[in-house]
Structure 1
Amino acid sequence: MDKMKQETADLTQENIERIGELFPNVITEMKDENGKLKKGINFELLKQLLSGNVVDGEECYDFTWVGKKASIVEANTPIRKTLRPCIEDSKNWETTENLYIEGDNLDVLKLLQESYLNSIKMIYIDPPYNTGKNLLYRNDFSQDVDTYLNESGQISNEGRLVSNPRTYGRFHSAWATMMYSRLIVARNLLTRDGVLVCAIDENEQAQLMMMLKEIFCEGNYEHVCVSVVHNPRGVQGINFSYTHEYAIFVYPTIGKIIADRKIEEDEVSWSQLRNWGGESERTDAKNCFYPIIVSEGNIVGFGDVCPDEFHPKQTEWNGKLAYVYPIDRNGVERKWRYARQSVEAIIGMLRARKYDGGYEIEIGKQSGIQRTIWFDKRYDANEYGTKIVNSLVPDGGFTFPKSLWTVYDAVYAVTSLDKDAIVIDFFSGSSTTAHAVMQLNAEDGGNRKFIMVQLPEPCDEKSEAFKAGYKNICEIGKERIRRAGDKINKEIEESNRQLKLGEEPKKPVDIGFRVLKVDTTNMKDIYYAASEYTQNLLTDQISNIKDDRTDLDLLYGILLEWGLPLSLKHEIEEIDGIKIHIVDNDSLIACFDESVPETVVREIAKRQPLRAVFRDSSFASSSDKINVEEIFKLLAPNTSVKVI
């Protein structure tokens, strides 16, 4: 039986395999740090094969900084960590499809690579803005900032979170290095039509846009920078008062991705489609002189461009149809502002307004298309960010979180046509994104799922949040989700009690979440990767699983490695006194008892699950393992059987 690896994918080796499929002759062997042979790339030969396309030592368009190469290496380096379930911190564990994950987001993104590859419709992040006062994630980790990280083995000399003052010589480089590795790994999670939305301010907007255009290649992706007026009062700067920040939308150039925004009729202002002023006459653009056909006040079509010698009245009548030309009330033949084919494409933005002499054709200045400036009182971060969080979690201590409606409108724009979308926020902070997802589901009946990821940064012991019992940011974020969810479903219940005859009741929203926490691997320190096992090791080692790990810990480690979503339904049964775990109706059956009798193995095999897994130490000898393999070959030949 095969052994499970219990480590994340080695992205570097996967990339080597892809290159090898295209250029088999560049694959070579080299020694790793332990002196063992492994696959590598002969880069000189690869350059020769791509001669004429390789930039080497010449001036080129490039964006780089100190630490960029290290960031790429960090993104591709596998880790031996896991996610441990925490049922006591969760809400509606058995039924929810939402996740809240505590830990460094780079680790989490790596751990989710198999289970959520090409599965996330939207990534919304609000990363540290690099103001010189905030904390940043370090990439060369060796010591933690708090007990949580120490206990979970995520340690390094400089720490996961450190301040990044402007006096630091690598002010922009440190921030760019932190972001680059995370964006590289996050890209793999997006669906083919997936969208990344990143909030940022002026400190790093330019650098972030350059990174995004490199990671999400121009030509294949659009990169739109939206200005969001989030602080109408302004923040005083040198000569200017800052009232806005940015939301960068990155989406594939494969068609309609971003949904039209919601608008009310009074938001639309109208103006004449007929041109006026300089260069507005018929002779200035002959292809802009044609009739627009109106029937009973509605625009129903367009006529051909008129020949030079044709001299119509302002409105020609043909029975019930009116043919409206761009002639002003003084009889001057002018032109429409756009050619016919352009106007045909925006017919929904036009209206015919009647007056004494016929019709005036008007065009709406605002359409349902998303604008690049978001200006609405609902985007005020104080009124609809800070105050909303404080109303739900008094003494939470969050200063200037995102407005709920800023995030809501972003989620609406990306997922209004995909109501089953998964939305991930790996800088989740006060969990505004989770709140926005639940709110949108409540309004349109959607079943969107959220995945929140946050480092459990400790609260200052002098803060009101700490005094209120919140030890870290995660505790505040989880409490907000609980209270916001309860409020949303209570409002649905009250609305359903006031339904009019014939109205359909709204369904309750999934307001739960499964909590998982990053920790060291489930394997003991003497653990070896599957490729490192020898016959002697197999003989000598009794159990390589840490003593404090539960069946649930092992199960979720297996889900990660086998690439199964962490929200799948999970049931527990007993067969002859032995506990078995059933995931997603026999997609996976796991048994972690120390001694598994043959009767139990046979019963599991009879169910013909897609996958089955046992403890390596559950079987006393090699012959017992062979017997298990033979049972499955006989009763469930298509089942993949592994041990840990």
Structure 2
Amino acid sequence: MPDQESTTSWAREPPGRIAVQYGRFARIANRMTVECIVTKGSAVVSSQTSQAEVQSLIDRAVKLGDPKLAADIRQFASTRQYGLVFEHNRPERMRLYGKPVTARDVVQVLPRLGTAESAENRLLWRVSSLHDGKADLYAYVAPDYADNDGEPRTVDVADLVAVSEYDQPIYAGFRETGRVEHGGDKPYQVVINGENYHALEALAFAYAGKVDCIYIDPPYNTGAKDWKYNNDYVDGSDQYRHSKWLAFMERRLKLAKRLLNPADSVLIVTIDEKEYLRLGLLLEDVFAGSRIQMITALTNKKGQSRNGTFARVDEYIYVVFIGSATVVRGFDSMLEATSSAVRGKKPAIWNSLLRRGTHSARWERPKLFFPVFVNETTSTIVGVGDCLDPNANRNDTIPPKGCVAVWPMHTDGTEGCWQMSPEKLKLYLQKGIAKLGNKNKTGQWAINYLKRKQLNEVKDGTIKTVGVDKRGALMLEYASREEVAKQEPRTMWMKSSFDASVYGSTLLRDFLPGRSFPFPKSLYAVEDTIRFFVADKPDALIVDFFAGSGTTAHAVMRLNHQDGGRRHSISVTNNEVSIDEAKKLIKAGHRQGDPEWETRGICEYITKPRITAAITGHTPEGGPIKGGYKFTDEFPMADGFEENAVFYDLTYQDPTAVRLGMAFREVAPLLWLRAGARGRCIMDEKPDWDIADTYAILFDPSRANAFVSELAKAPHVGLVYVVTDDERRFASVSAMLGGLPVVRLYADYLRSFRISAEGANN
């Protein structure tokens, strides 16, 4: 503990501040609920101190010439949790559907057909042996988990599912389940059906440090059973609900961090009010040192009821800027004020001075009832009269010679009022931002002016001035997109295109008639958000590991259509079914893993058909998609996209089989992904080598000389895999390849998954 003097000094500091002391050195920094005391020869780091702050203390101790103190701080901090504190010791276990059960596997027994999941099905067992389609089990007792005191038993292997903890290494592969090819040699949009934690581990082999943008819309933890932890829905009554969610998110964010390009990339996370505070602190811990900003986006003007509190109309978007990442300046502030003009729609510039709607009668606004004098021969405004007394008759007003008095009259003949006072109108006329309009059918002259919206657009260049007419009014027109000054988007997004009901749910039904998905994001909201970070990256790689209905992949294809880009996406989703759908399937005698169950899952029923329909322009039933895209890029949805897509199921491989080359077909898609996800995928081993569009594999290193000669004829190849266990031979082949990136199989593949498992414990 700190000495008495230090303790006394620290105690005098206001709550919610940091006091860091080292002899004469003292520093106080603002941060709520953070206490950190450092004294010579000892260190105390509280559980609320951030990782960045701990490192700062270590750096300062080094600068002060006391390496022992630095070591003390490092040692103490390594034994404590710091940053956002939550319950970490509740393990996350994942069912590995599709993995063949083998001896020594940890498993769970699936519910009997026609019955729902129960606590008994979440007990853990270890397989001692397999025989004749049966498995002998004994109780597997793990710390911090439901104890299993059951007696050994024998069950059908078909009734078992293998289970893995998040920090245990798995070795993933991919099995193709379909593809759509409409894009020539463009990279493929990739969809992976599987547990996203394991999919991220697999992607770390292919894309570590290469991803430009990650966009995710994770479960919001509303308490409405919108996600599962340890194969059980988490509801509002779970006292560990927030800790489970934070642990669940932290593990995936740490893997996501491995994927992002440390020099220039961005993580985008959407959330609502239930977890946004905790998420912000979690992001600060996982991405310590990165710039983080939060945006508020209007997504539903109608509002979602919050049981006696304010109805929610917005969501929050966290943006984590990695390295040198910046927002691409554009033509849209993301406020509704400028969006229409820059997106091709040209609303009227001039507005009627006549007030309409509420409080528009003369008696309600008597100080806004006055005449405007117009010379009808020259069609000019020659003057502005004074406000009339509320009891005065307007017909008693005598206009100047040769002029008529124009009053604010409604079409039904009742007296109204103008939008501004006589003094303000005179000023507007002087500046040329008010003018005489046209006569309507009743012979009434219109008086026009510029509202604040149009004045702002004149100021920012959206509307340009092309001259002054003979009556002194500004001549205005909308600038072309190229002429509008680029600007930084604002942190409040108020765009009608973000309406999740219209451009999420309703739009999805256009592509998949008769099918629904809960709360899909607006296509245009995702498109706009991603654009800020990949507009200047036509070959960007975008990952979404909470892909849901596939909106992110759809948005990436939209962006490519707009500028001819070759961006590609990796979308990871599971094949869960809704609670209501699960009840129907259970009643019909099915359970997860059965074909009848899997066909109704998110990936099979929604994600894959949606992306297929978007590319082909046809619904799953074969008819053309009705309607058209709006806003930035308007064209019929039935036109589809010039894109390619491929669909995979995540598989689980035995590391020994991988090491011996017995699982090549499952590993092959990962090799293709790492090479750029375009062109031919090498799916079969050859006696010597194979050279595809973007990569090559040397299966027999003894043929290296001939391979290198053949490779010289394929300048498009940018990556080489060499299959060998001999490090010296691998180094020799690498030296022969003249600087081409070289990956050793299967050592690098296996090492990648071990690293992911080890990182889960840090």
Give the shorter-chain TM-score range: 0.5 to 0.7
Q: CA distance change for structure 1 residues 357 and 425 in 2, over 3 Å: closer, same or farther?
A: same
Q: CA distance change for structure 1 residues 214 and 515 in 2, over 3 Å: closer, same or farther?
A: same
What percentage of residue pairs aligned between the two structures are identical? 23
Report the equivalent of 1:152. none
Counterparts in 2 of 1:201-216, with a 5 A limit?
Answer: 201-216=272-287
Residues 1:405 and 2:524 are matched in the alignment: yes
Report the equivalent of 2:391. none
Report the equivalent of 2:340. 264
Report the equivalent of 1:483. 613
Q: CA distance change for structure 1 residues 523 and 257 in 2, over 3 Å: closer, same or farther?
A: same
**Displacement of 1:58 after TM fit?**
14
Residues 1:470 and 2:608 are matched in the alignment: no
Is the Cα contact below 8 Å between 2:188 and 2:643 reproduced in 1? Answer: no
Q: How far, CA to CA, are the matches of 2:83 and 2:253 in structure 1?
A: 18
Q: CA distance change for structure 1 residues 484 and 128 in 2, over 3 Å: closer, same or farther?
A: same
What is the one-letter code of the residue matched to 1:120?
V
Is the Cα contact below 8 Å between 1:122 and 1:422 reproduced in 2? Answer: yes
Q: How far, CA to CA, are the matches of 2:296 and 2:251 in structure 1?
A: 24
Q: How far, CA to CA, are the matches of 1:422 and 1:641 in structure 2?
A: 21
Report the equivalent of 1:315. none
Is the Cα contact below 8 Å between 2:730 and 2:744 reproduced in 1? Answer: no
Residues 1:223 and 2:326 are matched in the alignment: no
Q: How far, CA to CA, are the matches of 2:739 and 2:524 in structure 1?
A: 49
**Displacement of 1:253 after TM fit?**
7.9
Q: How far, CA to CA, are the matches of 2:543 and 2:533 in structure 1?
A: 13
Q: CA distance change for structure 1 residues 47 and 109 in 2, over 3 Å: closer, same or farther?
A: farther
Q: How far, CA to CA, are the matches of 2:80 and 2:744 in structure 1?
A: 52
**Displacement of 1:373 after TM fit?**
2.8
What is the one-letter code of the residue matched to 1:385?
G
Tell me the SS of whatever aligns to 2:270: strand
Report the equivalent of 1:66. 87
Report the equivalent of 2:679. 569
Report the equivalent of 1:81. 171
Q: How far, CA to CA, are the matches of 1:121 and 1:211 in structure 2?
A: 21
Q: How far, CA to CA, are the matches of 2:559 and 2:468 in structure 1?
A: 40
**Displacement of 1:400 after TM fit?**
2.3
Q: How far, CA to CA, are the matches of 1:240 and 1:78 in structure 2?
A: 44
Q: How far, CA to CA, are the matches of 2:514 and 2:194 in structure 1?
A: 23
Is the Cα contact below 8 Å between 1:120 and 1:424 reproduced in 2? Answer: yes
Q: How far, CA to CA, are the matches of 2:197 and 2:347 in structure 1?
A: 42
Counterparts in 2 of 1:148-297, with a 5 A limit?
Answer: 159=230, 161-191=231-261, 192-217=263-288, 220-252=290-322, 254=324, 256-262=326-332, 263-265=339-341
Equivalent residue for 2:649, pick from 509, 512, 517: 517
Tell me the SS of whatever aligns to 2:570: strand
Is the Cα contact below 8 Å between 1:426 and 1:453 reproduced in 2? Answer: yes
**Displacement of 1:590 after TM fit?**
3.8
Tell me the SS of whatever aligns to 2:264: strand
> TM-score, structure 1 length as denominator?
0.58
Is the Cα contact below 8 Å between 1:260 and 1:370 reproduced in 2? Answer: yes
Q: CA distance change for structure 1 residues 373 and 601 in 2, over 3 Å: closer, same or farther?
A: closer
**Displacement of 1:174 after TM fit?**
0.7
Report the equivalent of 1:11. none
Report the equivalent of 2:195. 104
Is the Cα contact below 8 Å between 2:617 and 2:640 reproduced in 1? Answer: no
Q: How far, CA to CA, are the matches of 2:568 and 2:91 in structure 1?
A: 33
Tell me the SS of whatever aligns to 1:514: strand
Report the equivalent of 2:180. 91
**Displacement of 1:354 after TM fit?**
6.6
The root-mean-square deviation of aligned C-alpha atoms, in Å, is: 5.2
> TM-score, structure 2 length as denominator?
0.50
Give CA-to-partner distance per residue, 1:15-64, whole Å, 9 cap, x none.
Answer: xxxx9xx99xx9xxxxxxxxxxxxxxxxxx98733568998699999421
Equivalent residue for 1:588, pick from 688, 696, 699: 696
What is the one-letter code of the residue matched to 1:177?
A
Give CA-to-partner distance per residue, 1:488-522, whole Å, 9 cap, x none.
Answer: 99999x99xxxxxxxxxxx9844322233322235
What is the one-letter code of the residue matched to 1:414?
F
Is the Cα contact below 8 Å between 1:68 and 1:180 reproduced in 2? Answer: no
Give CA-to-partner distance per residue, 1:405-442, whole Å, 9 cap, x none.
Answer: 21122122222222222111110000011111112222
**Displacement of 1:604 after TM fit?**
2.3
Rg larger in structure: 2
Is the Cα contact below 8 Å between 1:129 and 1:201 reproduced in 2? Answer: yes
Give CA-to-partner distance per residue, 1:451-506, whole Å, 9 cap, x none.
Answer: 10112224635669x989833211120110000111299999x99xxxxxxxxxxx
Q: CA distance change for structure 1 residues 171 and 254 in 2, over 3 Å: closer, same or farther?
A: same
**Displacement of 1:107 after TM fit?**
1.7
Q: How far, CA to CA, are the matches of 1:201 and 1:477 in structure 2?
A: 23
Is the Cα contact below 8 Å between 1:228 and 1:247 reproduced in 2? Answer: no
Q: How far, CA to CA, are the matches of 1:78 and 1:355 in structure 2?
A: 76
Q: How far, CA to CA, are the matches of 2:79 and 2:205 in structure 1?
A: 38
Tell me the SS of whatever aligns to 2:319: strand
What is the one-letter code of the residue matched to 1:97?
Y
Report the equivalent of 1:454. 573
Q: CA distance change for structure 1 residues 75 and 246 in 2, over 3 Å: closer, same or farther?
A: farther
Q: CA distance change for structure 1 residues 482 and 255 in 2, over 3 Å: closer, same or farther?
A: closer
Q: How far, CA to CA, are the matches of 1:583 and 1:69 in structure 2?
A: 46
Is the Cα contact below 8 Å between 1:384 and 1:403 reproduced in 2? Answer: yes
Q: CA distance change for structure 1 residues 602 and 60 in 2, over 3 Å: closer, same or farther?
A: closer
Counterparts in 2 of 1:372-411, with a 5 A limit?
Answer: 372-411=491-530
Q: How far, CA to CA, are the matches of 2:618 and 2:292 in structure 1?
A: 35
**Displacement of 1:603 after TM fit?**
3.2
What is the one-letter code of the residue matched to 1:443?
Q
What is the one-letter code of the residue matched to 2:275?
E
Q: How far, CA to CA, are the matches of 2:618 and 2:564 in structure 1?
A: 12
Give CA-to-partner distance per residue, 1:96-127, whole Å, 9 cap, x none.
Answer: 43211222222222222243233222211111
Tell me the SS of whatever aligns to 2:169: coil
Question: Highest relative contact order (Cα 8 Å, sep 6+), 1 or 2?
Answer: 1
Residues 1:603 and 2:722 are matched in the alignment: no
Give CA-to-partner distance per residue, 1:249-286, whole Å, 9 cap, x none.
Answer: 22258474243353334689999xxxxxxxxxxxxxxx
Tell me the SS of whatever aligns to 2:180: coil
What is the one-letter code of the residue matched to 1:129?
Y
Tell me the SS of whatever aligns to 1:407: helix
Is the Cα contact below 8 Å between 1:101 and 1:517 reproduced in 2? Answer: yes
